[in-house]
Amino acid sequence: MEKKKISRQQVYTLVVQIGRKEGDGLPKDATGAALMIYASGIDEAEAVRETVAILKQADTSPLDVTGYGTLAEREAEGHEIEDEERELMQRALEENSVIVAQMTPFFGDEDNTVH
């Protein structure tokens, strides 16, 4: 009888800001973008490393990564998590992958001041 291997992988929600780079696929007038990503890893640091490596391979220029934790951590903080988001997280876990769930381009007119 084969035992099912217990995975220590978890899925982390990350927001990555990227700058411009030749061939990055962003709209012509964009100054950069924010990417909402679900990435699997043993810990958040591994998820971040894997994400940055993949984004660099994809000809983007990652500038900053903000981690929002695992599904359980986000639920504990009171985040509302839609079914579609849960499905993408599950897919990232099953495939041991990095999934870009959303891309928001910046056009240089964003209000970056803290209120």
- The DSSP code sequence of 30-82 is --EEEEEEEEEESSHHHHHHHHHHHHHHTT-EEEEEEEEEEHHHHHHTT----
- Give the start-to-end residue ranges of the domains of the chain: 10-107
pLDDT given at position 110: 60
pTM of the model: 0.86
pLDDT given at position 4: 55
Q: Tell whether the model's pLDDT for residue 115 goes beyond 80.
A: no
Cα–Cα distance, 61 to 55 (Å, whole number)? 7
Q: Tell whether the model's pLDDT for residue 7 goes beyond 80.
A: no
